[in-house]
């Protein structure tokens, strides 16, 4: 389906996003022992803006890792299959890991990644921070530990989230009415 930026409606503006992400970082700082390092795994490409904004406010020593995974093609719904483009992660024994993702929808992508990090990387503790929780679409048992916003069953773009590779650079969240 063809979409045009002029049909995009603002759902969450830039200042609301910044304030909520700062509050979420405060929750994360309060949850962890800030003297121990935390490995943050950013799920590319969608989490890139959220990851950059969130990590600026975190107080513990941080290691950054990046993976590329996708379950959406050029469509408004999940393909039902995880495509992995880069899952090069080190062993994470004795590490606390926080996965940072743009949105949890069916939960397929994160169910796969959480199991991978626990089983293959041997992390001692794996938690999940998401910018959006689309609870109504859930098919897998994935519960974010930290979530900035709930969103109902609409397709959103901006601040990292795309449609056909576009709109990731917007500093707000929009949706096509």
Known catalytic residues? 105
Q: Which of the ranges 1-9, 22-30, 84-92, 95-103 carries the binding residues for ligand IMP, by CB under 6 A?
A: 95-103
Tell me if 156 contacts ligand IMP by CB under 6 A: yes
Among positions 103, 126, 128, 173, the unique one binding ligand IMP when judged by CB under 6 A: 103
Q: Which of the ranges 12-20, 50-58, 89-97, 103-111 carries the binding residues for ligand IMP, by CB under 6 A?
A: 103-111
Tell me if 42 contacts ligand IMP by CB under 6 A: no
Alpha-carbon distance of 86 to 83, in angstroms, equals 9
Residues 126-155 close enough to bind ligand IMP by CB under 6 A: 134, 155
Q: Which structure tokens are listed for 96?
A: 């606390």
Among residues 111, 160, 153, which one has the least CA distance to residue 134? Answer: 153
Tell me, by CB under 6 A, how many residues bind ligand IMP: 18
DSSP readout, 63-94?
A: EEEEEEEEEE-SSSSEEEEEEEEE------BT
* Opening angle at CA 133, ends 128 and 97, nearest 5: 5
Element (H, E) at 175: strand 173-176
What are the Cα distances from residue 129, in Å, to 1, 2, 7, 9?
A: 31, 31, 30, 26
Closest to ligand IMP by CB, 96 vs 107, is: 107
Among positions 71, 96, 128, 158, the unique one binding ligand IMP when judged by CB under 6 A: 71
Among positions 53, 95, 105, 133, the unique one binding ligand IMP when judged by CB under 6 A: 105
Tell me if 174 contacts ligand IMP by CB under 6 A: no
Which residue ranges make up the site for ligand IMP (CB under 6 A)?
A: 46, 71-72, 78, 101-109, 134, 155-157, 161
């Amino acid at each position: 389906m063809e979409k045009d930026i002029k049909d995009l409606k603002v759902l969450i503006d830039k200042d609301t996003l910044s304030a909520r992400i700062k509050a979420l970082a405060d929750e994360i700082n309060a949850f962890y022992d800030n003297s121990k390092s935390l490995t943050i795994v950013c799920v590319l490409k969608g989490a890139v803006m959220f990851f950059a904004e969130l990590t600026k406010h975190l107080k513990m020593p941080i290691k950054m890792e990046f993976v590329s995974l996708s379950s959406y093609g050029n469509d408004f719904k999940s393909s039902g299959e995880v495509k992995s483009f880069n899952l090069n992660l080190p062993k994470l024994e004795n590490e606390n890991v926080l996965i940072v993702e743009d949105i949890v929808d069916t939960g397929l992508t994160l169910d796969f990644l959480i199991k991978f990090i626990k089983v293959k990387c041997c992390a001692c503790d794996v938690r999940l921070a998401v910018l959006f929780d689309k609870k109504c679409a859930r098919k897998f048992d994935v519960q974010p530990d930290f979530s900035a916003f709930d969103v109902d069953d609409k397709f959103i773009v901006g601040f990292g989230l795309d449609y056909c590779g576009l709109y990731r650079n917007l500093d707000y969240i929009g949706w096509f009415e």
